[in-house]
Amino acid sequence: MGLTTHNYSYRLDTLQKIKKNGIDVFIGGGDKNRVSMAELAGIYRESKFVINFSGKPDSIIQCKGRVVEATLSGACLIERNNPETNHWLTPNVDYLPYDCLNEIPDKINQMLQNPERYEAIRSSGQQKAEQNFGAQKTWSRILDFAAQLSSSRANCINCE
pLDDT on residue 30 = 67
Q: What pTM was estimated for this model as a whole? A: 0.78
- Nearest-angstrom CA–CA distance, 123 and 74: 7
Residue pair 21/109 in contact (Cβ under 8 Å)? The answer is yes
Q: What's the chain's Rg over C-alpha atoms? A: 19
Instruction: With a cut of 50, list the residues of the chain below it in pLDDT.
Output: none
- Nearest-angstrom CA–CA distance, 87 and 25: 28
Q: What is the pLDDT of residues 39-78, one digit of tens each?
A: 888 888 898 999 888 766 556 677 888 899 899 999 999 9
Residue ranges covered by each domain of the chain: 6-131
The mean predicted confidence, pLDDT, of the chain is 83
pLDDT on residue 157 = 58
pLDDT on residue 77 = 95
Residue pair 94/74 in contact (Cβ under 8 Å)? The answer is no
- Nearest-angstrom CA–CA distance, 86 and 94: 9
Q: In sequence order, what DSSP letters do the residues of 50-119 get, joined into one string?
A: EEE--S-TTS-----HHHHHHHHHTPEEEEE--HHHHTTS-BTTTBEEESSGGGHHHHHHHHHH-HHHHH
Inter-CA distances, 15 with 40, 54, 78, 108, 158, Å: 18, 15, 12, 11, 62
Q: What CATH topology corresponds to 6-131? A: Rossmann fold (3.40.50)
The gap between the terminal CA atoms of the chain, to the nearest Å, is 49
- Nearest-angstrom CA–CA distance, 109 and 78: 12
CA proximity to 28, closest of 4, 46, 48: 4
pLDDT on residue 23 = 85
pLDDT on residue 5 = 63
